Amino acid sequence: MKKIILGITLVMALIGCKGKEEQTTNNTTEKINIGITQIVEHPSLDTIRTGVEDALKESKYKDQVVFNYQNAQGDFITAQTIATQFNEKSDIIVAITTPSAQAALNKVPEKPLFFTAVTNPVIAGLEGKNVTGVSDMSPVKEQVKLIQELLPKAKTIGTIYTTSEANSTFLVEEFTKVAEKAGYKVIARGITNVTEIASALDSLVGNVDVLYTAKDNNLASAYSLIIDRTNKANIPVIGATRDFTEAGALASSGISEYEVGYQTGEMILRYLDGANLEDMKIEYLNKSELTINEEQMKKYEISLDEEQSKNIEIIK
């Protein structure tokens, strides 16, 4: 009888061990659902998203993360709907751009919300116990300096911005302060949507020596139009991101969009490792990325000295 009881006890112990082993295995392979909401699709934001995903794919969680990417197609109501869905089905939410982050703020009351591509999170109201992320604030001083170096004869700078975009409005205000302090006259034209860009450009042509394009979702969506119009009017364009240089701007001084996304991904990894979200402060990138478009250099007969050649990457 004792042998039978002992045998039953041993079997039960083995089953218990197996159960614990299966539970441990399940825990280590438990999926982490990450919802990524993006207000509109264009190269700058796509690059940021790639940076976020790469940071996670290269980590120890690479076999656990599952990405669900949704694009709001520029519509704020759609962005709110996406945020509501993610709040129900995702473990972590990543909001790319200020509109997407603002849309998610009230729809995601408790789950971790990481924003990225937000220029001024405080002004945008992106503060809370479950909210943090990485700012993509542009180095406006470096951008004004770039105009001084490449276009020394320029006196008047034109710029266009979307009045409803907190990022764009803030950047143009900061750029204007720095530019006017440096002795430039700045003419700014506010728009409400993409269809107004053409008329804004028409009002600037003939009145400005150079066009400055800040990070702005509407401008990015219609950048080919901007380059076409400015090329015909012989007005060089200085952009706020590398993508603008690649799209035809003369040059740009800006932070690396990829690094903004990657750093956001690293913040998520620290959270997954056990960091308290409330203790994770908003982060910024300080390193500038200088690029110049070779074709535009030739068009405006610009040559780089030895020092400039070391610091500026030529985009062919």
In a domain, 187, yes or no: yes
Whether the predicted model's global pTM rises above the 0.75 cut: no
**What is the rounded average pLDDT of the residues 252-262?**
91
Please check whether residue 305 lies inside any domain of the structure: yes
CATH number where 300 lies: 3.40.50.2300
Looking at residue 166, what is its pLDDT?
Answer: 81
Position 260 pLDDT exceeds 60: yes
Identify whether residues 81 and 217 lie together within a single domain. Answer: no
pLDDT tens digit string along 283-295? 988 667 899 999 9
Place of tokens 């909210």: 131
pLDDT tier at 127 (50, 70, 90 boundaries)? confident
9 occurs within a structural domain? no
Residue 156 has pLDDT above 90, yes or no: yes
Hunting for tokens 């390193």 — which residue is that?
Answer: 287
| Whether residue 262 is found in the same domain as residue 125 | yes
In-domain check, residue 17: no
Give which of 74, 77, 116 is closest to 93, Cα–Cα: 116
Q: Are residues 45 and 109 in the same domain?
A: yes
Q: Is the pLDDT of residue 56 over 60?
A: yes
Give me the pLDDT at residue 286, please.
63
Share of the chain above pLDDT 70, in %: 91
How high does pLDDT run on average in the chain?
A: 90
3-state helix/strand/coil string of the chain: CHHHHHHHHHHHHHHHHHHHHHHHHHHHCCCEEEEEEECCCCHHHHHHHHHHHHHHHCCCCCCCEEEEEEECCCCHHHHHHHHHHHHHHCCEEEEECHHHHHHHHCCCCCCCEEEEEECCCCCCCCCECCEEEEECCCCHHHHHHHHHHHCCCCCEEEEEEECCCHHHHHHHHHHHHHHHHCCCEEEEEEECCHHHHHHHHHHHCCCCCEEEECCCHHHHHCHHHHHHHHHHHCCCEEECCHHHHHCCCCEEEECCHHHHHHHHHHHHHHHHCCCCHHHCCCECCCCCEEEEEHHHHHHCCCCCCHHHHHHCEEEC
Establish if 85 belongs to a structural domain: yes
Contacts of 199 (CB under 8 A, 6+ apart): none
Please tell me whether residues 195 and 310 are part of one structural domain.
yes
For the chain, how many structural domains are there in total? Answer: 2
Which of 105, 115, 103, 110 lies closest to 49 in space, CA to CA?
115
Average pLDDT over residues 164-187: 94
Question: Is 155 within the bounds of a domain?
Answer: yes
| Per-residue confidence (pLDDT) for residue 3, from 0 to 100 | 44
Confidence grade of residue 16 (pLDDT, cut at 50, 70, 90): very low
Here the contacts of 105-109 (C-beta below 8 Å, separation 24 or greater) are: 105/131, 107/80, 107/83, 108/83
